[in-house]
Amino acid sequence: MSGFTLAAFADEAGAALSEQIDAMRENRIPLLEIRGVDGKNVTALTESEAREVARRLRDAGLGVWSVGSPIGKIGIRDPFAPHLDLFRHTLELGRILGAKAFRLFSFYIPEGEDPEIFRDEVLMRMERFAEAGKGSGILLCHENEKGIYGDVADRVKVIHESLPEIGAVYDPANYIQTGEDTLAAWDKVEKYVRYMHIKDALPSGNVVPAGKGAGNLPALLGRYRELGGKILTLEPHLTVFKGLSALEREGERSGVGSYAYPDARTAFRAATEALRELI
């Protein structure tokens, strides 16, 4: 695909690993950003369960690009030591699964408070992650996410300038949801980007297929390619309305928005097709 390799959050196609494998093969996507497996978050897997997941993926001709962990999605005032232990456990799972990258976050900031008050605490915690990850062979990557310290590009840049060993996962829809222009945000963090999440959104914040929103995806993909970027992780986040088919006659669409799908598998396929058409 024009020099890109696709990964995906396969749990958006189905909760069961067997469903995820079927969807990945059906859509010709070789790599997972592994997040949910058989109803469990990846952090909750045991090492033996991770070995079995790795075996099943390998037997299906699939691999794991990144651990799509929720590490760092706790409040900045929440106890850190247990979370660091969970990080270490999940990093070991990533090693077992053969992951090359590990997605994490920079802590929820109390609503209404100035994020800069927490800058030093955030950087100290992120540094602890970086120290714990040394020698693992897995690249730690911070994702911009609404509500955390690193939600806007200026603060994302602070993290990477302070800790250049941590790469950036660039998520255009998340920047839209914080009110930022995606191209202006890219200019600020470009040198730190290690891979992209493919998720587009309207100015309202509603997620839509790639290329259908305000994310400037064609321009961003061009800039990413110029950097030598290879991996794109598809994160559909599209609306699944399970009762949709019952409300429609053949050939009609019900008034539930422009992009709504009768099941997760259909939404996953639509997201994949939109990205392939865009590229």
Res 90: pLDDT: 98
State the total domains in the chain.
1
Q: Is residue 278 part of a domain?
A: no
Per-residue pLDDT tens over the stretch 51-92: 999 999 999 999 999 999 999 999 999 999 999 999 999 999
Query: What residue has token string 């911070």?
Result: 142
Length of the chain: 279
Q: Nearest-CA neighbor of 68 among 248, 205, 199?
A: 199
Region 138-167 average pLDDT? 98
Instruction: Please tell me the distance from the alpha carbon of residue 224 to that of residue 264, in angstroms, as a whole number.
Output: 28
Q: Is residue 50 part of a domain?
A: yes
Confidence of residue 2 (pLDDT cuts 50, 70, 90): confident
Confidence of residue 242 (pLDDT cuts 50, 70, 90): low
pLDDT higher than threshold 90 for residue 168: yes
pLDDT higher than threshold 50 for residue 249: no
Region 161-184 average pLDDT? 97
Q: Is residue 208 part of a domain?
A: yes
Task: Give the tokens for residue 116.
Answer: 């800069």
Per-residue pLDDT tens over the stretch 25-39: 999 999 999 999 999
Instruction: Please tell me the distance from the alpha carbon of residue 102 to that of residue 233, in angstroms, as a whole number.
Output: 13
Name the residue range of residue 17's domain: 5-237
- Which distant-in-sequence residues (6+ apart) come within 8 Å of 232 by Cβ? 4, 5, 6, 7, 195, 196, 198, 221, 224, 275
Q: Is residue 197 part of a domain?
A: yes
Strands 139-143 and 31-34: unpaired
Distances (CA, A) of 140 to 10, 69, 224: 20, 11, 19
pLDDT higher than threshold 70 for residue 154: yes
The overall average pLDDT reported for the chain is: 93
Q: Is residue 85 part of a domain?
A: yes
The rounded Cα 36 to chain-centroid distance in angstroms is 12
Q: Is residue 249 part of a domain?
A: no
Q: What is the CATH number of the domain that holds 145?
A: 3.20.20.150
Region 197-205 average pLDDT? 95
Q: Is residue 49 part of a domain?
A: yes
Q: State whether the Cα torsion 176-109-143-20 is positive or negative.
A: negative
pLDDT higher than threshold 90 for residue 251: no
Residue 204 is which amino acid?
A: S
Q: Is residue 12 part of a domain?
A: yes
Q: Nearest-CA neighbor of 186 among 226, 148, 146?
A: 226
8-state DSSP, 19: H
